[in-house]
């Protein structure tokens, strides 16, 4: 039989949840008055992150990323193609982002991924495909003008509890880094086909065949939101709904600024706020880079055992 104290605790939790739903700003302000957020974090602290490289054994590369409750699964599928005539020495990278129907209470059937995830597709394209030194498409070339790899990067947002762009970009980078390009052989008919593991020492293998996707930069993102003059690092979905504006900053491994995105909002982000967000993004990059290397190492060891 439930005790009186247990019953009282449950009643308090229900009352707090009801107050949060009816008066979200007042609920949030009570925590900010104490210098913390509802999940117990200080204003400037990001959520814990886990990275599982090689999460999908049937994919050529994959990663499962969790940022707090936000969960994103990314997978890479490889296909040998004939290079485009305008870029005979390059392969291709295709991107696709999907939002799971159960990932967010804001989900509406029939909306495209671009609408539902607030332009995350465009931000991912800008981070991975703008310029020539993020994904090095020439490393996907097998034989100039004859054969190249097309890498299809599919990203699935499983739980959209804030900062979806940050998690999508991290999962994409991890999946691409986890991808191992198979050896390729040239058949008697002149066709290029992936070599099976048993054929790796056979005749007809293409010499100098690339084995990994080249990444010249490692862009990672951090989103901050502004709420009543407070800068909240790595906001949850509830915090994003209350925010007066949100800023996503993308930096590379050298701390160089790669992009700043502000999606509307009630107020402008001044120079001081942008500087604070940028410095927070640089610190976050160092933290995530260490976690990423550890996960890739574990993924490689697991793949070697299979």
Catalogue all structural domains in the chain, each as residue range(s) with its CATH number.
48-305 (3.30.230.70)
pLDDT given for residue 218 in this prediction: 95
Q: Is the pTM of this model over 0.75?
A: yes
Between strands 61-67 and 214-215, the pairing is: unpaired
CA 255 to chain centre: 18
pLDDT at position 10: 43
What does residue 122 show for φ and ψ, rounded to 5 degrees? -65, -40
* CA triple 234-44-116, angle to 5 deg: 15
Q: Which helix (H) or strand (E) holds 286?
A: helix 271-305
Return the percent helix, strand and coil in the chain, to nearest 5: 35, 30, 35
* Low-confidence winner among 195-199, 248-252, 290-294 (lowest mean pLDDT): 195-199
What pLDDT, on a 0 to 100 scale, did the predictor assign at position 111? 56
The rounded mean pLDDT for the chain is: 87
Q: What is the mean pLDDT of residues 61-76?
A: 98
Lowest mean pLDDT among 51-65, 126-140, 243-257: 126-140
What pLDDT score was predicted for residue 180? Answer: 94
Say which residue, 235 or 306, is predicted with more confidence: 235
Higher pLDDT, 263 or 198: 263
At residue 96, does pLDDT exceed 50? Answer: yes
Average of per-residue pLDDT across 61-90: 97
Query: 240 or 25: which carries more pLDDT confidence?
Result: 240
Between 49-53, 221-225, 244-248, 291-295, the lowest mean confidence (pLDDT) is in: 244-248
Nearest to 202 by CA among 218, 189, 186, 213: 186
Percent of the chain with pLDDT over 70: 86
Beta strands in the chain, from DSSP E residues, in sequence order? 49-53, 61-67, 70-81, 92-99, 135-136, 141-143, 147-159, 184-186, 192-194, 214-215, 220-227, 230-233, 245-251, 257-262
């Amino acid at each position: 039989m439930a005790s009186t104290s247990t019953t009282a605790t449950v009643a308090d939790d229900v009352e707090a949840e009801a107050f949060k739903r009816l008066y979200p700003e007042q609920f949030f302000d009570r925590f900010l008055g104490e210098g913390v957020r509802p999940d117990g974090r200080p204003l400037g602290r990001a959520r814990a992150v886990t990275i599982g490289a090689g999460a999908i054994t049937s994919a050529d590369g994959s990663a499962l990323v969790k940022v707090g409750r936000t969960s994103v699964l990314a997978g890479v599928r490889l296909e040998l193609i004939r290079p485009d005539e305008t870029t005979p020495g390059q392969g291709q990278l295709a991107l696709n982002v999907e939002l799971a129907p159960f990932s967010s209470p804001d989900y509406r059937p029939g909306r495209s991924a671009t609408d539902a995830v607030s332009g995350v597709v465009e931000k991912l394209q800008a981070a991975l495909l703008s310029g020539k030194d993020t994904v090095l498409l020439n490393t996907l070339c097998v034989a100039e003008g004859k054969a190249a790899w097309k890498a299809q990067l599919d990203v699935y947002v499983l739980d959209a509890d804030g900062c979806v762009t940050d998690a999508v970009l991290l999962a994409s980078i991890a999946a691409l880094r986890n991808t191992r390009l198979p050896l390729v052989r040239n058949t008697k008919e002149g066709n290029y086909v992936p070599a099976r593991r048993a054929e790796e020492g056979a005749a007809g293998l293409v010499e100098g065949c690339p084995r990994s996707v080249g990444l010249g930069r490692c862009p990672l993102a951090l989103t901050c939101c502004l709420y009543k003059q407070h800068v909240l690092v790595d906001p949850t979905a509830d915090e994003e709904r209350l925010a007066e504006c949100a800023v996503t900053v993308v930096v590379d491994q050298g701390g160089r600024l790669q992009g700043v995105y502000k999606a509307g909002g009630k107020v402008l982000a001044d120079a001081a706020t942008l500087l604070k967000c940028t410095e927070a993004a640089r610190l976050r990059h160092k933290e995530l880079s260490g976690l990423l290397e550890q996960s890739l190492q574990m993924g490689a060891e697991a793949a070697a055992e299979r």
